[in-house]
Amino acid sequence: MSAAEEVVTEAPAVEAVPKRAMTLGYGTSLAVLAALILIPLFVKNFIIFQMTMLLIYGLAVLALNILTGGSGQFSLGQSAFYAVGAYTSAILMEHAGMNYALTLPIAGLICFGFGFLFGQPALRLSGVYLALATFALATAMPQLLKLGYFEHWTGGVQGLVVTKPDAPFGLPMGQDMWLYYFTLAVSIAIYVASVNLLRSRSGRAFMAIRDNEIAASAMGVDVALYKTLAFGVSAGITGVAGGLGAIAVQFVAPDGYTITLAISLFLGMVVGGVGWLPGSIVGSAFIIFVPNIAESISKGLSGAVFGVLLFLVIFLVPHGARQVAIVAQQLIAKLKKN
Amino acid sequence: MLLTVRIAAISAAIVAVAATSSAALAQKKYDTGASDTEIKIGNIMPYSGPASAYGVIGKTEEAYFRMINDQGGINGRKVNFVSYDDAYSPPKAVEQVRKLVESDEVLAVFNPLGTPSNTAIQKYLNSKKIPQLFVATGATKWNDPKNFPWTIGWQPSYQSEAQIYAKWLMKEKPDAKIAILYQNDDFGKDYLKGTKDGFGAKASSAIIMEESYEVSEPSIDGHIVKIKAANPDVLLIYTTPKFGAQTIKKTAELGWKPLQIITNVSISVGSVMQPAGFDNAQNVLSAAYAKDGSDPQWANDPGMKKWNAFLDKYMPGVDKTDNGVVYGYGAAQTLAKVLEMCGDDLTRANVMKQAASLKDFAPDTLLPGVKINTSATDFAPIAQLQMQRFKGQKWELFGEIISGDVPSE
């Protein structure tokens, strides 16, 4: 069968990452966590807002990382899942008057279903073809959101304005700080769950499929099920990120979820290191802060400057933040020896 | 007795001192972003992304305030114009505006561009009581002083412009069969609504076809062929510049001669009429509120002479046919006027109060007779337009200045 041969001879889409290399060491994790908890106490609200967006995009990059780094499937359609999550949260909050925290699991579930269903036809595609199919999804989404049929709920082109929640139980903190810690809690929960997922039986199945589909099915892995499952999980997490994004930005509109967002997330994943989950937050920082840096260098040529910076990163550290982390680890080990 | 007199004298003196010092304070009042030497104004523009063509507006405004500063500033204070790129993305707009407000600490946010971006930041700015001055979008909703007292528009709203066309058609061509070509987004839909509102009860009988296109389509020739098949005698073209040029060209290629009215957004001689072909564009109608930089009829106009001198000195080499250059100049001049009117009371409340107290202000680049008027209940600064017809290689104004105020909802 030629299709099978193709799969065998085709170079693996994603380089195999051993599962232990997917996480940070215990000490480093705690240090990062401490920084994430403490920094907001000392900075302006605007920085807190940026950090909230950092976590939110970090979640979306993480979701893509599970799909691509974990199960070896490409997606340029994450913006579509992000949009569905954002709109689900916004519509439930503004039209149904639901509590913001409750809308997140619903956004996640709906996106999981959406992603799982999209995963079915995607089974027949791999590599660049799958990337193109998801690309189509991302291009279609903003226009679907503008459709007259849904306008009553989605607000059409005008979008929906979302009310920002206050801190509960009379906690003495501002809206931004509360939302940050809320997002942090959700992010940590999802991060821990993702790490455990990839270490579990299902995670091993994902990676087996990524490394060699035929070998995986020979070992008894239900390839179709696990591939769609990976899509579902990834879409679900992206949906939660989208919901959080809607609450943080206080506004959803079709123009916020174009293909540019999908490409940014993809970029974040590559810069963070494909298959290295902690890299997600580095990738997210790249897509949030580097355009600002580029703009401060030259306003007229910000796009070109961004391109040069991106090129440098890809050229110097092709494996992204993971590579930097490994080099740093080796340096520290060397210093300890001396 | 003596004691009481002395107490009275002392307290009188204290009161007098207090009164003079509070009078002195009343002369100079500042909020964050203003001081004796500087006024900090924030702005967001799409310098990158799908709408980056509008970036020239921000650059013009930046250059305008450079000129103001060279001339000594406003009431002795330099204007520090901080402009960031939002790439036409609402989440980015929120991030950049928060940066302007919380990190750069600007006095007001001026002329942010795009309906989605402005909607995204409106609630935030209003809750922080920071002026969102002269937004660069034609949506009707910015004229809503009751619910959003810190947001004010600038240009005529799309709906009021469309109403003017409807009124004109009802008067001049009462039995017209009308087809509407519109862009499928907020911009096009606002025009559609304004036209229908303008026709009122007659809308369903007068409008025989509504055809929409997506901004991502490379060409709209197919839509024009479809519209021609329905055989209307008036074609309303509610498109952005590129599609406006395509429409005029395609209609001529088909040998079809309906009465065409094109939106004010797409009236640039340099970027719409010329690419469409001057022969094809004869007798196309539109309405305008500002002068066209590439139109020779304004060569000796004092306002446009000032505009030309400004461009030659501060933006050498800029494309003068770009409407964004005219737009940015007019908007910046309006802000300069408001800041001048504020005097030494540079509080956010006073900036907003002065922005809502413009009386018959005429920036250099607006048509003769079009004036900016605002009040506590009218947050739509420019509400007047004049009909114009394309003749030869330029627009010829005709009729009188028409007011198209759309009341806030």
CATH number of B38-156+298-378: 3.40.50.2300
Put residue A167 in one of left, alpha, beta given phi > 0 → left and psi -120 to 50 → alpha: beta
B409 band by pLDDT with thresholds 50, 70 and 90: very low
Query: What is the average per-residue pLDDT within A175-188?
Result: 92
* Distance from C-alpha of A189 to C-alpha of A179, rounded to nearest angstrom: 15
Query: What is the average per-residue pLDDT within B295-323?
Result: 89
Q: Which of A286-290, B168-172, B288-292, B326-330 has the highest mean pLDDT?
A: B326-330
B357 band by pLDDT with thresholds 50, 70 and 90: very high
- Alpha-carbon gap: B87 to the closest alpha carbon of chain A (Å): 10
Q: Which of A15-24, A165-174, A321-330, B381-390 has the lowest mean pLDDT?
A: A15-24
Can you give the pLDDT at residue B23?
45
Q: Is the pLDDT at B249 greater than 90, yes or no?
A: yes
Name which of A47, A253, A299 is nearest B90 (Cβ-Cβ): A253
Query: What is the average per-residue pLDDT within A42-57?
Result: 90
* Distance from C-alpha of B124 to C-alpha of B98, rounded to nearest angstrom: 9
ipTM of predicted complex = 0.76
Contact A65, A275 (CB under 8 A): yes
The token duo for A226 is 């696990």
Contact B409, B140 (CB under 8 A): yes
- Alpha-carbon gap: A172 to the closest alpha carbon of chain B (Å): 19
Q: Round the average pLDDT of chain A to a whole number and report it.
A: 84
* Residue A95 at interface with chain B, using a CB cutoff of 8 Å: no
Verify whether the Cβ–Cβ distance B47 to A255 is below 8 Å. Answer: no
Q: Is the pLDDT at A43 greater than 60, yes or no?
A: yes
Q: Is the pLDDT at B328 greater than 90, yes or no?
A: yes
Can you give the pLDDT at residue A10?
46
* Residue A256 at interface with chain B, using a CB cutoff of 8 Å: yes
B95-108: b (≥16 Cβ within 10 Å) or e: bbbbbbbbebebbb
Residue A235 identity (one-letter amino acid): A
Can you give the pLDDT at residue B227?
94
> Helix-strand-coil percent breakdown of chain B, rounded to 5?
45, 20, 35
* Residue B48 at interface with chain A, using a CB cutoff of 8 Å: yes
* Residue A26 at interface with chain B, using a CB cutoff of 8 Å: no
Residues 6+ apart with CB under 8 A from B148: B122, B126, B132, B142
Q: Kindly state the helix (H) or strand (E) to which residue A130 belongs, with its residue range.
A: helix A127-146
* Residue A156 at interface with chain B, using a CB cutoff of 8 Å: yes
- Alpha-carbon gap: B193 to the closest alpha carbon of chain A (Å): 14
Contacts of residues B221-228 at CB distance under 8 Å and 24 or more positions apart, as own/partner, are B221/B246, B221/B250, B223/B181, B224/B181, B224/B250, B224/B251, B224/B254, B225/B250, B225/B254, B227/B179, B227/B181, B228/B254, B228/B256
Verify whether the Cβ–Cβ distance B116 to A256 is below 8 Å. Answer: yes
Q: What is the pTM of this model?
A: 0.79
Contact B278, B392 (CB under 8 A): yes
Contact B366, B289 (CB under 8 A): yes
Tell me which of 3.40.50.2300, 2.40.160.40, 3.30.365.10, 3.50.50.60 is the CATH number of domain B158-288+387-403.
3.40.50.2300
Chain A nearest-CA residue for B100: A46
Contact B290, B369 (CB under 8 A): no
Express as a percent the part of chain A with pLDDT over 90.
Answer: 26
Q: Give Cα separations from B105 to A321, B17, B43 (angstroms).
A: 34, 33, 12
- Alpha-carbon gap: A55 to the closest alpha carbon of chain B (Å): 14
Name which of B55, B101, B120 is nearest A251 (Cβ-Cβ): B120
Contact A272, A281 (CB under 8 A): yes
Q: Domain map of chain B by residue range? A: 38-156+298-378, 158-288+387-403
Name which of A45, A156, A260 is nearest B102 (Cβ-Cβ): A45
Can you give the pLDDT at residue A303?
78
Q: How far is CA B322 from the centre of its chain?
A: 15
pLDDT in tens, B256-267: 989 999 999 888
| Fold agreement between B38-156+298-378 and B158-288+387-403 | yes
Q: Is the pLDDT at B209 greater than 90, yes or no?
A: yes
Q: What are phi and psi of A327, to 5 degrees?
A: -60, -45
Query: What is the average per-residue pLDDT within B384-408?
Result: 83
SS3 A5: helix
Can you give the pLDDT at residue B24?
45
Verify whether the Cβ–Cβ distance A249 to B120 is below 8 Å. Answer: yes
Can you give the pLDDT at residue B21?
47
Q: Is the pLDDT at B408 greater than 50, yes or no?
A: no
Can you give the pLDDT at residue A327?
85
Query: What is the average per-residue pLDDT within A93-108?
Result: 90
Q: Is the pLDDT at A112 greater than 80, yes or no?
A: yes
Name which of A53, A256, A299 is nearest B90 (Cβ-Cβ): A256
Higher pLDDT among residues A29 and B253, named by residue: B253
Residue A62 identity (one-letter amino acid): L
Query: What is the average per-residue pLDDT within A237-254?
Result: 91
Among B residues 1-30, those touching chain A with beta carbons less than 8 Å apart: none
Chain B nearest-CA residue for A254: B116
A4 band by pLDDT with thresholds 50, 70 and 90: very low
Contact A194, A277 (CB under 8 A): yes
Name which of A158, A256, A295 is nearest B85 (Cβ-Cβ): A295
B130-159: b (≥16 Cβ within 10 Å) or e: bbbbbbbbbbbbbbbbeebbbbbbbbbbbb
